[in-house]
Structure 1
């Protein structure tokens, strides 16, 4: 497995994993209406805007999106740490997303991606020396993974419809 910074050539593979990430959030956590809401947003327009945002983030720091690419050249996983300019959102480094394709889970790919994220975050100039992420309390697999890395609950996110 090759773990390296994302390039524009990875866009299709990254998008497919992003879809898997979003659909997993919708299906595996929350109420019955969460899945359809997440699926409905994954339009071609959303794809274009999201990939443009990825490009903007990568232009600021080429390591903020790291991909794991298998021997066939397929993107098997990714981690997305927001650039330091967005660190003031939570006064910390923000691990925006970490996702590994189901067929590559349990192979150490997530560990390699987490190490890349932590290395990047340690090099950032931040208000607090801390990395934060949002993980659903119902996502036991993710909870166990982050627990292994010493993540602890630090506040609670709440949301409401606009």
Structure 2
């Protein structure tokens, strides 16, 4: 799947040596969820979960998903040997497609310095290709997006996503 986005970034499957850089992006994803769309309490909740234990558990889960289907986690890697990642997309493996009777785009994130460069579009193309390769109950790719995240909503609409339902949640 080696697919160049531009001269400085390559979209490719996640590899063993990417864990630290992927975790750095995951932190950005999580703190971004809490920023600007829910006030201080939401931001504090997302920040508080980012412990060493959470990191280890999340990276272990990534490894299990990638072992099952390597394309489930795709990264945008900067050229060179420094290991920098510009972004990632995480589509749940086919075995979890019954969660929503569809392929599930779990996370997509692009580092702020790489936004507006086409990296997100290339990662979305990789996600769609991964989903199309899965044997799904229904041929669709689903995700949840914060209703207050106008930038994300516009991105998803531009890529053909339409409102399908509404997710609700409660505290446990």
- The one-character-per-residue Cα deviations of 1:95-147 (angstroms, maximum 9, x if unpaired) are 00000000000000000000000011011100000000010011111111000
Structure 1 residue 104 corresponds to structure 2 residue 114: yes
Deviant stretches of 4+, over 2 Å:
none
Distance (whole Å) between structure 1 residues aligned to residue 37 and residue 60 of structure 2: 28
Is 2:30 the partner of 1:22? yes
Report the Cα distance in structure 1 between the residues aligned to 2:31 and 2:66, rounded to whole angstroms.
24
Is 1:41 the equivalent of 2:49? yes
Q: Which runs of 5+ in 2 are unaligned?
A: 1-8
2:64 to 46, 56, 79: 56
**Which residue in the other structure is 1:117 paired with?**
127
Q: Which is further off, 58-67 or 28-37?
A: 28-37
Deviation track 1:12-56 (CA, whole Å, cap 9, x = no partner) reads 000000000000101121243111011000000000000000000
Aligned partners of 2:105 and 2:36: how far apart in 1?
20
* Aligned residue among 149, 155, 159 for 1:149: 159
Paired with 1:47 and 1:8, the residues of 2 have a C-alpha distance of 15
Number of aligned residue pairs: give it. 162
**Other-structure match for 1:7:** 15
Inter-partner Cα distance in structure 2 for 1:110 and 1:93: 18
Match of residue 77 from structure 1: 87
Query: TM-score when scaled to structure 1?
Result: 0.98
Distance 1:145 1:37 in 2: 25
How many Å separate the matches in 1 of 2:35 and 2:133? 35
Q: For residue 86 of structure 1, give the secondary structure of its aligned residue in structure 2.
A: helix
* TM-score, length of structure 2 as denominator length: 0.92
Looking at structure 2, the residues matched to 63 and 42 of structure 1 have their Cα atoms a distance apart, in angstroms, of 25
